[in-house]
Copies of this chain bind each other. A is one copy, B any other.
Amino acid sequence: MRRERGLKRIGIADTTFARFDMAAAAADELKKQGGGFTIVRYTVPGIKDLPAACTILFDEQRCDIVLALGMVGRQPVDKDCALIADTGLQLVQVHAGKHILGVMVHEDEAKDEAELAFLFDRRTREHAVNCYDLLFRPEALRKRAGTGQREGFADAGPVRVK
């Protein structure tokens, strides 16, 4: 594996379970943000396989950060899967000392298929911006601190006090 000088390595892990090509949206948005990085793709069956993929992206592929992209289905068992996947992602982050931005879209968050597609695209892109900021523009995140940002639907905004 060749490591291009000075380029950061961004892992993008996604699943065959998800019903939208989240990785394409993430890669497209990352490139819009600027340069300085290469992308390493990794596709697994479902969200419970994402933590192992992230471990491999950090340890073998020497990624500096990973976007872990997945969908959570409508069944109770799917909600349990999300908890397990998230627990695994925490283990990996603490082990690697690096960030994984978990981008999960719950199938029941959207009222219809059109809104679901919108949500997949928008949330993934907003987290791609967060990913770029964590690597290259930490001051941009700090400027948004405590301002009620949301990824996907509308921002909540800061507490409104007269």
Contact = CB atoms under 8 A, between A and B. Distances in A.
Interface in A73-131: 73, 77, 79-84, 86-95, 97-102, 106, 113-114, 116-117, 120, 127, 130
A53 B62 CA distance: 19
A160 B144 CA distance: 35
Contacts of A141: 16, 43-45
Contacts of A158: 19-21
Contact of A148 (B19, B138, B151): B19
Interface residues of A, number: 76
Nearest to A56: B97
Given A52-B98, A87-B90, 11 more contacts: A14-B145, A15-B145, A16-B146, A16-B149, A17-B149, A19-B146, A20-B158, A52-B99, A52-B100, A53-B99, A114-B162
30 contacts: A16-B149, A17-B148, A17-B149, A17-B150, A18-B148, A19-B157, A19-B158, A19-B159, A20-B159, A23-B145, A43-B138, A43-B141, A43-B144, A45-B127, A45-B130, A45-B141, A48-B89, A52-B93, A52-B99, A77-B106, A79-B80, A80-B86, A81-B86, A83-B83, A84-B87, A88-B93, A91-B94, A113-B160, A117-B159, A117-B161
